[in-house]
A and B are shown apart, each in its own frame.
Chain A
Amino acid sequence: MNTDGADPAFRVVEQTVRESYGKLVAWLSVRTRDVALVEDVLSEAFVSALSTWPRDGVPDHPVAWLLTTARRKMLDRFRQARRTAVVDTTHLEQLPEIAVLSPELPDERLGLMLACAHPAIDSALHAPLMLQVVLGLDAARIARAFLMSPATVSQRLVRAKTKIRDAGIPLSIPDVEVLPQHISTVRDAIYIAYGTGWEATPGEMQTRGLATEAIWLARLLPQLLPTDAEARGLLSLLLFCESRSAARRSRTGQFVPLSEQDCGLWDQAMISEAQTVLAEAAAFRQPNRFQWEAAIQSVHADRCRTGTTEWPVILQFYGELIQAAPTIGNRVGHAAAVAEVHGPRRAIGMLDELESPLIQFYQPYWAVRAHLHHRLDENQSASEALTRAMALTDDPAVRHYLSELATGWAMPTQ
């Protein structure tokens, strides 16, 4: 078999995998409810394609060919295993005709994504499951991104797929009463997937982070659910964040805080796309968490044009954000914006009001607090907070940045 990839048949297989993988998994899973089995037979079908297409030529409808092959393999499995699960094979038997008649598969990925992020599935698995089932990422890659062992990830993903099958988790779009709640778990999972790459250095990002994959999913969601304003808010937010990825680290890999970033390194095309998507979201007049977060990022992005950061506008958006999502992170961000507009004293007062169990191990709280005390020349408090912030970061580059800061402030850190 020719494995150098030069054969056009390989390229067609590769392209079909990239463009149609999630759709194929969705279409077959909706009809069999067995995601793990579908993944198995699909990967066998891709292997068959790799061995037969270079020999016999690429079929007219590659997707239909793959579906037909996957279906045949699935029926074989059903017969062999005499599976006890109740499976309606009517659709499977009709499959060849359907596939040949319409080479364009109907897109049922939203149902698949909703199943992956169903509230009955452990929320820690929503993002890993979606990345594997919709994008075909392997467990090792997911494990690296989520800092888990590959064996643990594989085992937990298998269990989750079994639960989808045996607990009757729907692979369809639910009623309007529960749809908003279920969609919010899908958005959260995509957001979490994006966050995996956040602390990676530029060199690591390709292997460790899943930012590209997360943005791919975030682009998909508004296509599948055009009326969801927050799906666009999420996409806009991720694009704003991603537009700055080249500026977040110096050439030597050092951490560069937003206020010191060279905005010449920001990706202007991505920023402009983020702004367009945010404007589309705003047109729905259903502002919520991700839209407010994106709006805050859009103000930061304006610094490139105007040379200044409009902190009063950011503060106003933070006010809305903490109404929509009063998380600890958002409240700390709110306090930081208050410091820029009303001074550090008032912001420290707000930080003091946060409940201690929440902030004890929350790194950004201590980093912000250190800066605020420093601005008030309260060196003892600044030093204590900075030491805490350094201890709480997992990221060597951030720890290094903070220790440089301590040196610059001429303070000892314990």
Chain B
Amino acid sequence: MQYALLIHEPASEFAKRNGPDAGRYWAGWMAYSQLLRESGVMTGGAGLEPPTVSTTLRMNGASRLVQDGPVADSKEQLGGFYLIDVPTLDDALAWAAKCPTFPAGAVEIRPMLPPPPSA
């Protein structure tokens, strides 16, 4: 099955990206990404810029409502995601458990929709 591992990070983790701990922060993510790639389970993914540079669009009829910031103003924000292909949720959980976001952040494991049925 295909899963998205959605990495939710608190502001303190986003701050590490450019802080004094940046070297260690990035080294952890590099190692994790490399592990996923080399084990052959990773099918995609991306890191995301922090929610402070995010923009949210809603449409009111034909007029755009553009807002500064993310959709939901929650304590943890999406910091990036991995797409993996593994047999079961337990395998996805085992990969997610190795993620360097812990203990500060959380990982949401969301199955990807299967491809539409062929006609």
Contacts and interface: CB of A to CB of B under 8 A. Distances in A.
Interface stretch (B11-19, B29-37, B85-93): B85-93
A169 interface: yes
B3 to A, nearest CB: 7
Contacts of A118: 89
Interface string A160-195: 000000111110101101100000000000000000
B111 interface: yes
B85 to A, nearest CB: 11
B92 A168 contact: yes
Give the size category of A's interface with B: 10 to 19
A147 B113 CA distance: 36
Interface in A83-113: 83-86
Interface string B1-16: 1010000000000000
B27 to A, nearest CB: 26
A305 interface: no
Contacts of A178: 90, 93-94
Contacts, number: 38
B103 interface: no
A168 B88 contact: yes
Interface in B70-113: 87-90, 92-94, 109, 111, 113
Given A84-B116, A84-B117, A168-B3, A174 B90 contact: yes
A84 B92 CA distance: 21
Contacts of A175: 90, 94
Nearest to A118: B89
A264 to B, nearest CB: 50
A170 B89 contact: yes
Contacts of B111: 166-168
B97 to A, nearest CB: 10
A120 B89 CA distance: 9
26 contacts: A82-B117, A83-B117, A84-B114, A84-B116, A84-B117, A85-B114, A86-B1, A86-B114, A120-B93, A167-B89, A167-B109, A167-B111, A168-B3, A168-B87, A168-B89, A169-B89, A169-B90, A170-B87, A170-B88, A170-B90, A172-B88, A174-B90, A175-B90, A178-B90, A178-B93, A178-B94
Interface of A: 82-86, 118, 120, 166-170, 172, 174-175, 177-178
Interface of B: 1, 3, 87-90, 92-94, 109, 111, 113-114, 116-117
Given A84-B116, A86-B1, 4 more contacts: A168-B111, A170-B87, A178-B90, A178-B94
